[in-house]
Structures are given as structure tokens and as C-alpha cells.
Structure 1
Amino acid sequence: MKLSTQILLLCLSGLLAACAGTTGLSRLGDSAVNEDRRLLVTFADRSIARNLQGNQQDNYQVVEQYRNSSWGGRKANELADRHRLKLVIQWPVTELGVSCVLYEVPEGRPLSQAIQALRQDPSISTVQALHRFEVLGQPPALVSGNDPYRHLQAGFQALGIADLHPVTTGRGIRIALIDAGVDLDHPDLKGQIKYFENVAAEPADHNLADIHGTAVAGVLAAHPGNGIGITGIAPEAEILAFRACWPSKPDALAAHCNSFTLALALNQALKMDSRIINLSLSGPDDPLLRQLLEKALAKGTLVIAAVPKKGQVDGFPANLSGVVAVGEDSSGHPGIIAPGKDILTTVPHQAYDFMTGSSFAAPHVAGVAALLLQLHPEWRTADIMRLLRSGSNTLTAHLPKAAAAGKKPDGF
């Protein structure tokens, strides 16, 4: 791995912890901020490889405690002055002696000019644009009120999941759900989320129960057999929920993320040895995220991403080689077609609703993969893929049943 790749990967491990000031992360979700004018920059700083107490940031759970070196802080501000940039947040990486800085390019200055100048600066290691990503859910086509029953779960029924649960429920398989927030107090999700971390800007009312993330979590892990709701595809999987996206407006299904928050979440998912990563979102090709995803794939992590409808948003990360692309209809994509229309699932405040979109097809695939991995933890991604789809690339019930019966993929 080249040093520049290591820098971009490891600089994220301290993102939550240390900051040059109290601004920065708390402004990431500010609708007034122009994310298109923000850049991620790294530079070498040997003086930070020390064990120092960190500064906790407002509105964020601190995973690791670091503190910027005084030299690093001066250097970040010097670069800001030299290149006429606004410093948003800075964080150190003790492992490589590197500082990472999020800068904002002032209005009126061409972004390309700023990027070119930074890349020509010999003291700078890497420069990365901040990209925007969108979740891939659509507004409900039908409102169910408070009448949530398993027989209404179209995908659950079509895949014959009830027949698989006596032998496999995804137990012990760690799934990173990188999305909007999850309503941890929903009666069908309470206790189902093993770990939650907010790496995005927290809303003013501190309500993290975002609709999209809660809905995706319900498809994947809703509590079975409690008599009050639906059943998840892999209800005993270890769900690590990372809130990397936030609603476009209050109470909206639509949500967006950016390179910064997604990289934070992906880095944490890798550090916590997630076996599966679910990304029900899409956006432009992103160099930093690409490196993190390639790292995940190299580790053998199964990365599942939703495919956008034509003309909706860009197709990354589903178009990345090795990522399992999932859509709700054929749409000409080469990945897997899974249930994604009128999917009954959990929504905030003890409610349920029907959702449509590839956002909700993706967790069907993630859940079935977890069922397979519980039975055969030694299987590789290619082995799982042979059982996840039929000749028409459609996720079907009989293939997982064959695996539950102990059959192995072709080629073993």
C-alpha cells in the first residue's frame, strides 16, 4: 500500500476526536454550508506521535482520544493562510505522524485553482474533494398505520425466510449499516442494534431517529417473535449502525451524506471487523471512499450497495468492481435483483410503513448473506454470490435453502 493510501485511511481513525477548534464537525450538517467547496488535505507531522489527552467535541461520540500537536496546529493554519482557505477541522494520526485537515475554499475563488495550488505544495501529501451522496429510498406508496404483520412483508415471504430461521438467523455475523440514524427505541429494534455511532452532524433537536436508516434497519434486523411487529431477515446478526447521513429536511425520507462522514463510518466499520457492509446510497466516484472500499474487499468483507435508477444519481459505490450491486428491478444492471417494492418496515416513533427503492432491496441481500455466513463462515464472497442469485440474477428462496441444507457452492 502506498503511503498516500495509508495516510487517507488512517487519518480517519482520529476524525471524531481532536479538533483545532469547536467549529467543524458541528457544522457538517448545516444547510448553509456549501459542501462543494470543502477539501480534505493531509500533511506529515512527526511531532504528533505521542499519547496526549484529547478534546471531546460537541455533539459527537468520541471513539479515540487524540490531540493535535502545537506544530501541527500552526502548520494547518499556515497552510490556510498561504492558500487562502478556511480551516474547518483538523485531526491527527499518531500511527503515521500525519495531520488531516478539512478546509473550505472561500466563495469567489475557483475551486480548481485551490486544488492545483495545494497539489503543488511540497509539504502537502494528499488533496481530496468532498463529494455528496444520496440514500436511495422513495416516499411510501402506501401507509399502513399501526397494523404491522409478518404476512405483509413481501420480501420476507417471497424469499421463504421463515423456513430458514429454524436453522440460521445470522447469529454472530457482524453487519455495518452505514446510513441515516436508527430509532433505537423502536419496539422492533430495541436491543437489536449492538453498536451505534453518530459520525454526522447532529440535528438541532438531537433526534437521531431518521426515517431512512430506521427503515433499512427494520428490513435487516427487526425483532422476531415479540408479537408486536415484523421480523428481520437476519434478526440475530450483530448490527453496527453508523449514522453518516442526515435528512434533507425534517421528517423526510430523503437523506444525504458526504465523503467526510462516509469515510469516517467506513473506517470504523473496518476497524471493528465487519463481515458485511450495507450501503443503501449512491453518489459520484470518490477517491478516498474507493480506497477504503478496496481495503474492505481485500479483507474479504462483503460490500453491498444499492443501485440508483437511471438518471437519479451517480452509480458509485455499486459500480465498483467487487461490490455487490443490488436493485429492485432489472434496469440493465449486472448485480442482484431483490425485493424492494412496497416493503413493510420500521419507521420512527413505534410506527411501520411501506417503502420502495433499492435502498430496501440491499438489506434483503445483506440479511440473506448473513444467514449463509452463520452456516458457513469460511465461505468467500464469490462462494456466497453463487448462492445469492439465480441465472437471472434474481435473489430467490431455494438457493439459500440449499445452503441451509448443507450444500456448497459449485466449484468446491
Structure 2
Amino acid sequence: MHLLDDWPMPALGLDCFVMEADSGVARARLVSQLAADPRIELAQPMQVFHALAEGDPLSAAQPIVTDWHLRELHALGTGRNVNVAVIDTGVDVGHPDLQGRRIVTRNFVDSGPFPAESHGTQVVGIIGARSDDGVGIAGVAPQARLLALRACWPSSTAASGAVCSSFTLAKALQFALDAHVQVLNLSLTGPRDPLLGRLLDAALGQRISVVAAVDTHSADGGFPSSHHDVIAVAGEQARDHPSTSLLAPDRGIPATTVGGGWSFVSGSSYAAAQVTGLVALLRGMAPATAPAQLRAALAPEVELGLAPRRPERIDACAAVVRVTQRCACDCIAGSTTHWRPRR
């Protein structure tokens, strides 16, 4: 084998090495032999992940502005002081809707400069574009601290246009852990991955809220959305998604695009991005709230200890009330301790 790359993984107490086998060597047998070596903690094949985007815009409005009463939520909180990591492709940080946002950028794909790329620009804009600036769209959490971590890259052969690997994703996850983020967005999917699973466990152990997009072509929603305690988000128009997933708008979502423009995008990648922004709002409003409590606020059946019978459509205003005990979105008092949103 030949050493291609290596990276420390302090969150797991491991050093990670990427090796390439000589041509003609059976990879499965080689991995099995390595796993049997007592000096090696974990051996696995390199796996490929892809973004969950679609290209059919169906609407000309920002659904969450009305569905989630976004303007009213911004009167209560904007995600200020909440660190949000987006592991995706590169981002056009010079976009008019992102200028002045002081976005932390890192490139874990190669040694080149941080590039402006499509999918990451769309996801980051949906989460954190500036609001009330006279241009473009309003991000769900317009004052959150954004970390754009490039672990994926454009691919003309992938249907979604972007792919990632186990190794690049692992490096980005380790950086997010070191940066002590509060919210992590993963708008991508792939096979279940042991190394990434351990890093997600470490993130959850650090009270990081992990939001991931559901792959409706996978029976369990795909990985990482199927990982325990991850907030799995599917599109409201999608079919055959797991009953434990939450539903958010996924069609005709206005988003920032490379080159300073805007377009309408569709797919669970963007549904997850909106929920990531909402989680950042909730964490900013109630910093002491644990991730499990935030997840329960978004899914009341979980809060009551009930098994979800079907995917739940997110009620953002009700989630704010459950977390903050403050009236939101033109609600009326039901009692001294409970608030009932006005329909």
C-alpha cells in the first residue's frame, strides 16, 4: 500500500491514515487483514457521499417567511453568538447577501484556495444570509456565526453535482469539534460509515445539535440522517421518508448562488438548511437548552414520550414557545404556563 494522506483525530484519540492499495489487490480482503491487526483501531474502505439537491424550482417565494412567521421569530432572536458549521462544498463568501458576515472558511479537500461553489453557497445563504439589507433573501439565522467547511467538491458525474469522501468529512467534523460549534449542518448522504459515526457520537457528546438531510431513496433515510439523535429532515413534498424525520419546505426555496445572484432550489438539502437555521435561533434564544430538548421542541410527540406515527411538519412558532415559554407569532395565553399558538 501507499500512504496518500494522514490527519489526527483528537476527538477519538486516533491518527487517521489514507492508504491506496496496489492494483489487483482485493480491497475487502485487505481491509479485513488490517482490521485484525491489534495495532489498528479501525479499518474501513473510503466511501463516497453526495449532496441532496434537485434542480426544479416550483415557487417564487420564501415559504418559511410565511409558514414559520420568520419576521416575528427574528423579533425574538437571530442566532447571535451561536456557532453554526456547514460541512459542504465551497461558498461564495463575497456574495452581496453574505458580505460582512465574517464567515470562517476551511478547505479539507485540497491545498488550494477556498473556492466559490454552488451547493455550499446555497445552503449557507439559506441558513445565514443577511436580513433587512435591501437585497436578496433573509437567512433563517442571519446573525449566527458561520463556519463554511469544504469537505465536498463539484462532480459532473454525480446527479446532485457534489460528492464527498469519508476522509474529507472526517477532517471537517474534527475541525467543527475543535471549534466548539453548537449546530452542525450535513446536507448530504451516503453509506453508514464507522469513522464518521464515531465523530458524530463525539459531536453529540459535546451537546452539538446535528441536522442532516434525509435521502428518500434509502429505506432508513440514509446516513448520517439515520444516526441516533441526529435531527433528520425530509421535504414536505417527499414520499417514503422515515417516520422519525421532521418535515420542512423543500420546493422552490430561494437561495444565494455563485456570482452574486439568487435562484430557486429544491431538495432535502435545503429543507435541512432551513431547520439548521431554526435550531440556531432556538439555541440563541435559550442557550442552556440541551440538544435533546430542542429536538423534542421540534417534535412534540417525542417530548411526550410517544413514538411518532408519521413524519411531523415543523411548527416553528410552537417550537419557540416550548423552548422559551414566551409568546410568539401572535399567540394567545392558554394558562400561566402554557401558550397556544393562534391558528
**TM-score of the superposition, structure 2-length normalised?**
0.84
Closer, same or farther in 2 for the Cα pair 1:370/1:88, shift >3 Å?
Answer: same
> Which moved further from structure 2: 331-340 or 256-265?
331-340
Tell me how far apart the structure 2 counterparts of residues 95 and 332 of structure 1 sit (CA, whole Å): 32
Q: Report the secondary structure of 1:406's partner residue.
A: coil
1:379 maps to which residue?
289
2:317 maps to which residue?
398
Of structures 1 and 2, the one scoring higher in RCO (CA 8 A, sep 6+) is 2
Closer, same or farther in 2 for the Cα pair 1:98/1:324, shift >3 Å?
Answer: closer
Is there any run of 5+ residues in structure 1 with no aligned partner, and where?
Answer: 1-84, 145-151
1:109 maps to which residue?
25
Alignment of 1:75-90 (within 5 A): 85-90=1-6
Tell me how far apart the structure 2 counterparts of residues 237 and 336 of structure 1 sit (CA, whole Å): 22
> Contact 1:153/1:344 (CA < 8 Å) preserved in 2?
yes
- Asked whether 1:324 is paired with 2:241, we answer no
How far is the alpha carbon of 1:120 from its aligned partner? 3.6
1:345 maps to which residue?
255
> Which moved further from structure 2: 369-378 or 87-96?
87-96
> Contact 1:140/1:353 (CA < 8 Å) preserved in 2?
no
> Contact 1:328/1:358 (CA < 8 Å) preserved in 2?
yes
Q: Report the secondary structure of 2:5's partner residue.
A: strand
Percent sequence identity is 35
2:308 maps to which residue?
none
2:217 alignment partner AA: K
How far is the alpha carbon of 1:257 from its aligned partner? 0.3
How far is the alpha carbon of 1:405 from its aligned partner? 5.5
> Which moved further from structure 2: 165-174 or 385-394?
385-394
> Contact 1:237/1:370 (CA < 8 Å) preserved in 2?
yes
How far is the alpha carbon of 1:398 from its aligned partner? 2.7
1:162 maps to which residue?
71
Cα deviations by residue, 1:5-37 (Å, 9 ceiling, x for unpaired):
xxxxxxxxxxxxxxxxxxxxxxxxxxxxxxxxx
Tell me how far apart the structure 2 counterparts of residues 337 and 95 of structure 1 sit (CA, whole Å): 31
How far is the alpha carbon of 1:176 from its aligned partner? 0.8
> Contact 2:182/2:208 (CA < 8 Å) preserved in 1?
yes
- Asked whether 1:223 is paired with 2:130, we answer yes
> Contact 1:283/1:314 (CA < 8 Å) preserved in 2?
no
> Which moved further from structure 2: 324-333 or 253-262?
324-333
- Asked whether 1:213 is paired with 2:132, we answer no
> Contact 2:250/2:270 (CA < 8 Å) preserved in 1?
yes
How far is the alpha carbon of 1:126 from its aligned partner? 3.2
1:359 maps to which residue?
269
How far is the alpha carbon of 1:141 from its aligned partner? 2.6
Tell me how far apart the structure 1 counterparts of residues 70 and 77 of structure 2 sit (CA, whole Å): 10
Q: Report the secondary structure of 2:274's partner residue.
A: helix
1:163 alignment partner AA: E
Cα deviations by residue, 1:267-311 (Å, 9 ceiling, x for unpaired):
110111010111000100100000000111112111110001225
1:159 alignment partner AA: W
Tell me how far apart the structure 2 counterparts of residues 207 and 92 of structure 1 sit (CA, whole Å): 21
- Asked whether 1:192 is paired with 2:192, we answer no
- Asked whether 1:173 is paired with 2:82, we answer yes
> Contact 2:214/2:221 (CA < 8 Å) preserved in 1?
no
Tell me how far apart the structure 2 counterparts of residues 338 and 119 of structure 1 sit (CA, whole Å): 41
Closer, same or farther in 2 for the Cα pair 1:377/1:332, shift >3 Å?
Answer: same
- Asked whether 1:234 is paired with 2:132, we answer no
- Asked whether 1:283 is paired with 2:190, we answer yes
1:272 maps to which residue?
179
> Contact 2:9/2:174 (CA < 8 Å) preserved in 1?
no
Tell me how far apart the structure 2 counterparts of residues 98 and 361 of structure 1 sit (CA, whole Å): 34
2:151 maps to which residue?
244
Is there any run of 5+ residues in structure 2 with no aligned partner, and where?
Answer: 302-310, 328-336
Cα deviations by residue, 1:347-385 (Å, 9 ceiling, x for unpaired):
100111111111000111111111111111111122212
> Contact 1:143/1:353 (CA < 8 Å) preserved in 2?
no
Alignment of 1:100-139 (within 5 A): 100-139=16-55
> Contact 1:368/1:400 (CA < 8 Å) preserved in 2?
no
2:110 maps to which residue?
201
Tell me how far apart the structure 2 counterparts of residues 280 and 409 of structure 1 sit (CA, whole Å): 34
Tell me how far apart the structure 1 counterparts of residues 54 and 11 of structure 2 sit (CA, whole Å): 42
How far is the alpha carbon of 1:201 from its aligned partner? 2.9
